[in-house]
Amino acid sequence: MVKYIVKRIAIAILTLFVIATFTFWLSRAIPGGPFSREKPLAPTVIANLERKYGLDKPLIEQYLIYMKNVATFDFGLSYYAKSETVNQIIERTFPVSCLIGLWAFIIAIILGIPLGTVSALMENRAADSVIKIATTLFIAVPSFVMASFFMYFLGYQWKLLPVAMWGTWQQTIMPIMALSVRPLATITKYMRSSMLEVLDTDYIRTSKAKGANSFTVIYVHALKNALLPILTVSGRLIVNVICGSIVIEQIFAIPGLGKSFTQSVLGRDYSMIMGVTVFYAMLFICIFLIVDILYGLVDPRIKVNQNSKQEVA
């Protein structure tokens, strides 16, 4: 396991290096420049700004300076938030995005696991059909459509919740609901399939033949093994809800990292684009690494061999 973890960390560092490199060159490929505005600035002003932010240096030199700063987690100054560095903006805005994403994921887990279990136990009955139809619908509908739906009915028509902005717990409900719908449907679908597969295994049939009661069979033996695929997909879902918060933050005018990232792309704020991209990459790599390690610890049938490959013992 130790060798596997070390190898995964090395791969993560290499992946981060590749992402940082691509981000630098792709950001420079965006048409225009960070100081191109509707009202053109004087050439001397642009020259002074480029000198201040190091944009007057050759591209290869800018790249080397950027990679050195990435190695020390220093993403530099934002071109437009003059009083804050990129690091400070991330520290200020990411907790908002994290709050929305984590609550959406928690709600998806709390509701998705029992719904998937009920659907499996009620296979081919009315409850199962309703859950399958709802699951398919919610997976197909984008989060921004759900956000518009909630805003119109819960905010505008029924006046139950504030339509947008941020600051009170009431203003967090609709964004979290809109962001949780798709992962909830995904977990329900995976849980149903996994539970049906586990209930059809030999050891479950043996438990039933020995006279074990339904509670023991379902909640002691079947549920524990049926949860393993949920652990596998949870890393991807966490990544999805954090990425999905970028759109949700724009719709509900939430001052999160996603909104800042969108504004940086529109304004060609190279420092902000590269800093947020690398930060998200580090976050996602860490999430997938943790999930892989947890999967090996939770399931005793999985081990890591000398070649650092997972296999069933």
Find out whether 246 and 258 touch, Cβ atoms under 8 Å.
yes
- DSSP annotation of 85: B
CATH of region 92-266: 1.10.3720.10
Report pTM. Answer: 0.82
Q: Contact, 120 vs 199, CB < 8 A?
A: yes
Q: Outline which parts of the chain fall under CATH 1.10.3720.10.
A: 92-266
Phi and psi, residue 141, nearest 5°:
-85, 125
List 154's β-bridge partners, or say none: none
pLDDT in tens, 137-167: 999 988 889 999 999 999 889 989 988 778 8
pLDDT per residue as tens digits for the range 45-85:
888 888 888 888 999 999 999 999 988 988 888 887 767 88
The DSSP 8-state label assigned to residue 310 in this structure reads E
pLDDT number for residue 309? 43
89-113 pLDDT, tens digit each: 999 999 998 899 999 999 999 999 9
